[in-house]
Structure 1
Amino acid sequence: MIAAWAQLLRVSAVLTVPGDAFAGTVAGGRAPGRGTLLAAGSSLCLYEAGMALNDWADRETDAVERPDRPLPSGRIAPASALAAAGLLTGAGLAVAARAGRPALATATALAGAVWAYDLHLKNTRWGPLTMGTARALNIGLGAAASIPGAASGPGGGRTGDVLRTAALMGAHTVAVTTVSREEVQGGSPLPPLTGLAAVAGITGATARRSPAAAAAYAVTAARPLFHAALNPSPPLLQKAVGGGIRAMIPLQSALSGKSPAAVALLGLLPLARRLSRKVSPT
């Protein structure tokens, strides 16, 4: 049962979530503090809610394409997955509320994006953009927890920095999500090629903040995308998606610049690699 829930909740991808809150806090001009931890906790709950809701919404399709997943295989009841999605969403909003009204408002928008994506927008042309928006809102949640009146105390007013940081994370997420739409059946080399272009642009935009983290991001994301572009088969596209998900960790580190949090975030990458060998992040 534990293994089934670990698969449903994509525990190997969980480590890619907290760094958004830290990057957002740094972009907002604050050192990470209590508000950042609350934002990270809220993001984790909402991310896992999205994973459970995703499999509930896809249970009929997965019965054909991925029968080994927990719901079609019968290891977890659909009602349990839906209940988990609801409870985790509520928990995420409750934790965000502890960080102040701005954080709660941002978390509410994030929850709306998650549910809209899973229940309707995933298979439309708006799917990748919605997922990118959700990740950008994760960055915003970290920043919202550090503005005046939030739990972490008085904050900075660096709105432009927050928006740029959110846009870079959102752009990466859009590229990875676009590739993921073909990971079951295989497809064209265009999505991974577009992903490579996005990675190159994001690397250039973050290189001055943290050269080492930007390089780690480029290698983690670009190598599997390059292989998938040469051969856009399901196995290589799945590896490209997995690499793109893990690459969010060094990207968060790069976006955090010279903050002490940047080094700690980069240290999560080896653990994420090990976890992905046990539980697929996709």
Structure 2
Amino acid sequence: MTGEEREGVAAWAELLRLPALFTVPGDVLAGAATVPGRPGPHTLWAIASSVCLYEAGMALNDWADRAEDAAERPHRPLPSGRIRPTAALTAACALTATGLAFAARAGRPALAVAAPLAATVWAYDLGLKRTPAGPAAMATARALDLLLGAATVSGRVRPALSSATLLGTHTLAVTTVSRHETRGGSPLTALTALATTGALVLGLGRRCSGTEVSVGARQLPAYGHEPARPLRAALAVAYAATAARPYFHAVLNPSPPLTQKAVGGGVRATIPLQAALSARAGAPVSALITAALAPLAARFAKKVSVT
């Protein structure tokens, strides 16, 4: 590979925020854990769909922000000229179409969730993120991504609503902090995100009712919920440790660098949160698979920014 080709690959990795990609599969796995049944080939199609739609949002985000980035972040791939705006928009369209095609392969219920997910991604990038509804739209997209996993396995999403709410709340906090990361945030915003993290840790300690099945007159965990309790506790601690420290630093000094670190910490904390949600639903294998993505995300984050 020539130097020019390597530079091109690096530019696309930056545009697509490669480290953040590892926060995506855990959405589907956490959703699948909440419903009866086991993840199978259809779940892999759903994960592929989720990855494509997420990356479509990354490409579309930079295309929509190219004028703002030219003033505030001229080093980004589009304003720096390393990637043409038309190429980024084409990639966003192609990734969206591919994501929906993969969802169709996962089944009609999966497509029924993926379609509004794609619409939410485009609505956010093309307008909603500049309005007060922006963080809520991003939270909705993450919640829908988790519901995609539940719909793929069983065709039902109701058992996954509790987990989707917890994940969406975390995303709401991170997105709210990120709204002014280039100019610096406010101590109150970071403090609210810190408090939200504490509340979510408490929520992770509550039993996930969606995974219980009836056996005679008794209610039993569908996937061995009780043995997963120590794992759930460990993952909840990992989530709190990953998110809380940078939030606390941003509370003390909401400067642009520390606000950006708070956003990065919040993004990385998504992985242990997803893993904890899987463990909470009684799926330790899915939890461990998701948790294993964290070191990869951390490794790539040293080379490519997640924000």
TM-score band, normalised by the shorter chain? over 0.9
Distance 2:292 2:81 in 1: 36
Instruction: Specify the SS of the correspondent of 2:295.
Output: helix
Does 1:55 find its partner at 2:62? yes
The alpha carbon displacement at 1:4 in A equals 0.3
1:254 aligned to 276, 281, 290, which one?
Answer: 276
Distance 2:191 2:42 in 1: 38
1:138-153 matches, within 5 Å, as 138-148=145-155
Count of paired positions: 273
- State the TM-score, normalizing by the size of structure 1: 0.95
Alignment partner, residue 121 of structure 1: 128
Opposite residue 96 of structure 2, the aligned amino acid is T
Does 1:236 find its partner at 2:258? yes
Q: Which runs of 5+ in 2 are unaligned?
A: 1-7, 207-228
Instruction: Specify the SS of the correspondent of 1:145.
Output: helix
2:138 aligned to 126, 131, 135, which one?
Answer: 131
Residues 55, 158 of structure 1: alpha-carbon distance in 2 compared, 3 angstrom cutoff = closer
Larger gyration radius, structure 1 or structure 2: 2
RMSD between aligned alpha carbons?
1.1
The alpha carbon displacement at 1:158 in A equals 7.0
Alignment partner, residue 173 of structure 1: 171
Distance 2:306 2:81 in 1: 20
Instruction: Specify the SS of the correspondent of 2:186.
Output: coil
Alignment partner, residue 5 of structure 2: none
Distance 2:50 2:43 in 1: 10
1:79-228 matches, within 5 Å, as 79-148=86-155, 159=158, 161-207=159-205, 210-228=232-250
Q: Is the 8 A contact 1:35 1:142 kept in 2?
A: no
The alpha carbon displacement at 1:261 in A equals 1.1
Distance 1:255 1:33 in 2: 19
Distance 2:36 2:268 in 1: 26
Q: Is the 8 A contact 2:29 2:149 kept in 1?
A: yes
1:19 aligned to 19, 22, 26, which one?
Answer: 26
The CA deviation string for residues 52-105 of structure 1, in whole angstroms up to 9 with x for no partner, is 000000000000000000000000000000000000000000000001111101
Q: Which runs of 5+ in 1 are unaligned?
A: 149-156
Opposite residue 102 of structure 2, the aligned amino acid is V
Opposite residue 192 of structure 1, the aligned amino acid is A
Distance 1:192 1:34 in 2: 40
Distance 2:96 2:194 in 1: 33
Of residues 267-276 and 244-253 in structure 1, the stretch that sits farther from structure 2 once superposed is 267-276
The alpha carbon displacement at 1:137 in A equals 0.3
Distance 1:100 1:272 in 2: 29
Distance 2:246 2:299 in 1: 17
The alpha carbon displacement at 1:37 in A equals 1.2
Kindly, what percent of the aligned residue pairs are identical?
A: 60
Instruction: Specify the SS of the correspondent of 1:27.
Output: coil
Does 1:272 find its partner at 2:279? no
Q: Which runs of 4+ in 1 moved over 3 A?
A: none
Instruction: Specify the SS of the correspondent of 1:75.
Output: coil
Instruction: Specify the SS of the correspondent of 1:37.
Output: helix
